[in-house]
Amino acid sequence: MAFVAGALTVILETFVLGSIGKLLDTFPALREMGDHIRNAMSQILEVALLVGGFIASNSIMAMIGLGYVGSMAVMVTWMLNKTAKKPFLIPLAVGPVVTIAMGILVNLLFLIGFPLVG
């Protein structure tokens, strides 16, 4: 019974969606507000991934006593990416990519016998 009700709801929504879109197009302020909300959500996600990259890279590099290097690597990569004429990474990917690189670097240093601090 729930399956049938759900299917009917989806079908009804599909048919009504076009008319709802036309109705909302008559209010340009709503469209602009939606664009601003979409941009804000994207920027919040970018900042969250960047801060997460700072924290994770700091924690990873702290294992060899160089915690500040991880945070600096994220910051420098983000600044270079932001100022480049043709960015090499999308802004959302800077934090995670640098954090993965820091993890690989620490593991390689561990393999060659670099002393771990903590």
- In this prediction, residue 118 carries a pLDDT of 58
Mean pLDDT across 25-41: 88
Q: For residue 17, what are the CA distances in angstroms to 3, 6, 70?
A: 21, 16, 48
- In this prediction, residue 39 carries a pLDDT of 94
Q: Is 9 exposed, middle or buried (0-12, 13-18, 19+ CB in 10 A)?
A: exposed
- In this prediction, residue 31 carries a pLDDT of 81
pTM score of the predicted model? 0.72
- In this prediction, residue 73 carries a pLDDT of 94
Total domains present in the chain: 1
**Residue 116 within any structural domain of the chain:** no
**Residue 37 within any structural domain of the chain:** yes
**Residue 49 within any structural domain of the chain:** yes
End-to-end CA distance of the chain: 58
Q: Domain range for residue 67?
A: 2-111
CA 99-48-55 angle, to 5 degrees, is: 40
**Residue 118 within any structural domain of the chain:** no
**Residue 61 within any structural domain of the chain:** yes
**Residue 79 within any structural domain of the chain:** yes
**Residue 117 within any structural domain of the chain:** no
